[in-house]
């Protein structure tokens, strides 16, 4: 794999992958609406808006794979979500098809199944239950990936990312925590694993009592290695809501909404 495009490269996951993949692939083409700083050897930085199809098409030209991270990552006005999470995602998939890109790794979210109870274990074969309009836009992205895999033979890996960070910040994050190290391992396997048609995988580290069945991890060859510190785990578990709640947490609350 020679040329890898990363959209949303200025974000938390994008910047983590940028550091980890420096020198791993011959060329990283980093795309964002924000300034990406100085280019290093083996990098190209492109400042553009993925809502512009012509610019997106140029950005993926000659690429072997595209990692599509760019999105509004929380609830927002529908019109803004429509442009950033729906229209831009379509542009990435269609531009990739036209350019002959082999694989797209789509950053989805746990919020596509956020209305399941925390007492349930959910897998990729269970019906989606988005907890927000944001979650709905990620359902769209997964469905679009399925279409492009079935109709055009594009290899697509959808990664339902949980709580990404150095440590889980609260009890809700504990069962879905994804460490930066495991995040790099997950995205790397999503890029290089052979013989992928279409696959949905939950992004999670070695956490206790995970909410998710995750058979796709074995298909990718992804094995998480990072554990939550036992003392922190006990402290966060003690804060958990008695009787559980919904996997989407605050995203599932009626108050978590942006009026037109």
Residues classed as catalytic: 134
The Cα 239–Cα 257 span in angstroms is 25
The Cα 172–Cα 66 span in angstroms is 31
Phi, psi of 203 (to 5 degrees): -95, 105
Name 44's bridge partners: 29
Name 161's bridge partners: 109, 203
Burial grade of 125 (CB within 10 A; 0-12, 13-18, 19 or more) = exposed
Angle at 58 between CA 53 and CA 60, to 5 degrees: 95
The strand pair at 155-161 and 163-164 is best described as unpaired
């Amino acid at each position: 794999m020679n040329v890898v495009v990363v959209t949303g490269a200025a974000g938390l996951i994008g910047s983590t992958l940028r550091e980890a993949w420096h020198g791993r692939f011959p060329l990283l083409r980093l795309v964002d609406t924000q300034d990406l700083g100085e280019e290093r050897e083996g990098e190209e930085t492109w400042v553009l808006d993925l809502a512009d199809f012509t610019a997106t098409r140029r950005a993926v030209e000659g690429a072997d794979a595209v990692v599509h991270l760019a999105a509004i990552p929380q609830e927002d006005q529908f019109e803004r979500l429509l442009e950033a999470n729906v229209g831009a995602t379509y542009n990435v998939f269609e531009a990739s098809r036209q350019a002959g890109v082999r694989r797209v790794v789509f950053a989805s979210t746990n919020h596509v199944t956020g209305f399941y109870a925390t007492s349930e274990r959910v897998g990729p074969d269970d019906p989606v239950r988005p907890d927000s309009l944001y979650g709905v836009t990620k359902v769209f992205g997964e469905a679009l990936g399925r279409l492009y895999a079935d109709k055009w033979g594009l290899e697509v890996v959808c990664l339902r990312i949980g709580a990404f960070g150095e440590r889980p910040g609260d009890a809700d994050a504990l069962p879905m925590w994804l460490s930066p190290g495991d995040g790099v391992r997950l995205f790397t396997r999503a890029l290089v694993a052979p013989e992928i048609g279409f696959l949905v995988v939950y992004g999670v580290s070695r956490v206790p009592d995970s909410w998710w069945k995750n058979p796709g991890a074995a298909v990718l060859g992804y094995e998480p290695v990072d554990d939550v510190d036992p003392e922190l785990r006990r402290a966060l578990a003690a804060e958990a809501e008695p009787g559980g709640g919904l996997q989407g947490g605050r995203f599932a609350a009626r108050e978590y909404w942006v009026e037109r």
